[in-house]
Structure 1
Amino acid sequence: MLPAEMEDYLRDVQIDRGLSKNTITAYHQDLLTFTKFLEKKHKKLQDVDHLLVLTFLNELRSLGRANSSVARMVTTLRKCFAYLKKEGMVAHDPMQTIKPPKKAQHLPAVLTVEEVDTLLDLPDVTKPLGLRNKALLELMYATGLRVSELVGLTLADLHLDLALIQTIGKGDKERIIPVGEVAIDWLKRYLRDSRPFLLKGQKSDQIFLNDHGRSLSRQGVWQIIKKLVEQAGIKKDVSPHTLRHSFATHILENGADLRIVQELLGHSDISTTQIYTHISKGRLTQVYDEFHPRA
């Protein structure tokens, strides 16, 4: 259980800043981990100084936490203690001299076009769940949707006559995304032939349903993709986000402008999108080495 001061902080950021449920959950988990550390050390929030924070961060590293995880923890604690200091709940801010570890640049796994084709051809579209999986995968690859955006889609978000869908992304930002004909065709087939069967007489506005007629979860999508990747014999570390990475990489390799890709992915900062230029350059090097006679 969090101290009352930290609960106040989470309520404040949720109401005033309008952060997403996933972000608030991540903050809560980080603060809970820190609270358990303080309880083990028999310390209160008011006792925390920068040396105690450094001890905590070193403990996280000794437990095998990645640099990115430790960096996120530093960010969470920095924002929380800034709030506590401003509100007079602590006398000083111990995070002012704490710097987060540098994040190692991690290039995400990307599927080749051939691997994507193999994956998308696997679902058995003669069965309701197979048709759902086919429509789901086609839509993910056609739009670059985050998995949270995908499972949150409702019937009102579809504008298939205009070849568009709308979604609410990070920071509650709405964006409109074009959808290709192939994905539209499979989505229409799923809505007509499979979704009514999965509903089992229930009512739901959610597009993608599980076999109990309820909204498909993010974990459910992960399990679907994991199973299909194994069937396809793909040895890469593939997650639902991999189709998003592949979408961005493939359209960049085919000449799309980086700003357009930024809009399609819903990135607030183009520096986030620029990681895909590194992947594309890697592909250029691979092609050069393979086909140039003197490479």
Structure 2
Amino acid sequence: MDENLKTNLYAFIEYIQVERNYSEYTVKFYRQDIENFFMFMAEQGISKLEDVEYFDARLYLTKLYEKEYSRTSLARKISSLRSFFKFLMREKTVKENPFTLISQSKKHLKIPKFFYEEEMEKLFEVCQGNSTLDFRNLSLLEVLYSTGIRVSECANIKLSDIDFDFETIHVKGKGRKERIVLFGTFASEALNNYIKNARPLLMNKTDHEYLFVNFRGTPLTTRGIRHILNNLISKAALTGKMHPHMLRHTFATHLLNNGADLRTVQELLGHENLSSTQIYTHVTKEQLRKTYLSHHPRA
């Protein structure tokens, strides 16, 4: 655990033990809940508590729902984190409490944010260029959008995991689970170009099998990928801030909007339960209009 995270956790534990006089049982579970959230932060490439946003808190709640905790357990976990960030605000460690507006009621979960196809085109456009980093960024964006894999899974891809003949990638997912994901011709072309013309130059005398590397030649971390994606959205002049998980949301949304069945999307996303995939069954207004015009006899 990062030393800064550990320091803030210990300060909070001391606070609820001494000032709030919480029971040993309550302190134990508060500590466990917060440490689990720290693991989530690491998966998302978030290293600082002040960088946690409302979107991150909501995504974490979604992940808790996927694990099918009881309503009581969910309420306690959210309460633990809300109290923790309230304490951090008091200590002036953070400016806002991202868990203030989080409700443990499932019906309040909002539709995941995603990019429209026109927005994705703008992101691809800003990756066009002839530098080694342009080739890498285009390849990275194509892989994330083409496969729907998690950023943590993307960071762990090795050259030997890619099969260009069948256009598949062997992915090591959460809980050491493995699956095969597909990628298309655009991603294949971008990957080939990056591996042949950019990666060797970026490696800078380093030697490892990881696919995506930074300008020093060392493997890209989840935090590094997050930074790259935020730079791309800034260059594309799109409103808001990109969360890496938005590309996963976009992958699933575009597949479903274009006729893919829910079971196929579940398999591609690596979800154990279909209920986890059903959050993506929303459709865009444009898709609703197309469906209405093509199916209603009086349209």
Which residue of 1 is the match for residue 211 of structure 2? 207
The one-letter code sitting in structure 2 at the alignment partner of 1:74 is R
Contact map agreement 2:170 2:179 (CA 8 A) in 1: yes
* Identity score, percent: 35
Find 2:184's aligned residue among 162, 172, 180.
180
Change (3 A) 1:40 1:125: farther
Aligned pairs for 1:1-295 (under 5 A) are 35-41=13-19, 43=21, 46=24, 48=26, 74-75=76-77, 101-103=104-106, 104-278=108-282, 280=283, 282-285=285-288, 287=290
Q: CA RMSD in A?
A: 3.8
Distance 1:154 1:182 in 2: 19
Change (3 A) 1:117 1:197: same
Contact map agreement 2:135 2:194 (CA 8 A) in 1: yes
Equivalences, count: 239
Q: Secondary structure at the match of 2:205?
A: coil
Distance 2:21 2:272 in 1: 39
Q: 1:27-54 deviations in whole A, cap 9, x for unaligned?
A: x8997576244344274753749xx98x
Change (3 A) 1:154 1:76: farther
Distance 1:150 1:48 in 2: 37
Contact map agreement 1:109 1:238 (CA 8 A) in 2: no
Change (3 A) 1:154 1:39: same
Change (3 A) 1:255 1:124: closer
Distance 1:108 1:236 in 2: 14
Which residue of 1 is the match for residue 89 of structure 2? none
Shift of 1:181: 1.3
Please identify, of 285-294 and 257-266, the stretch whose mean Cα deviation from structure 2 is larger.
285-294
Contact map agreement 1:165 1:176 (CA 8 A) in 2: yes
Contact map agreement 1:120 1:134 (CA 8 A) in 2: yes
Shift of 1:284: 3.5
Which residue of 2 is the match for residue 97 of structure 1? none
Shift of 1:269: 1.2
Distance 2:298 2:186 in 1: 40
Shift of 1:263: 0.5
Change (3 A) 1:216 1:136: same
Shift of 1:125: 3.2
Contact map agreement 1:109 1:236 (CA 8 A) in 2: no
The one-letter code sitting in structure 1 at the alignment partner of 2:246 is T
Q: Secondary structure at the match of 2:281?
A: helix
Unaligned runs of 5+ in 2: 31-52, 65-72, 81-102
Contact map agreement 2:75 2:104 (CA 8 A) in 1: no
Distance 2:215 2:198 in 1: 10
Shift of 1:252: 0.8
Contact map agreement 2:74 2:104 (CA 8 A) in 1: no
Q: Secondary structure at the match of 1:110?
A: coil
Q: Which has the larger radius of gyration?
A: 1
Shift of 1:174: 0.5
Unaligned runs of 5+ in 1: 2-25, 54-63, 79-99
The one-letter code sitting in structure 2 at the alignment partner of 1:148 is S
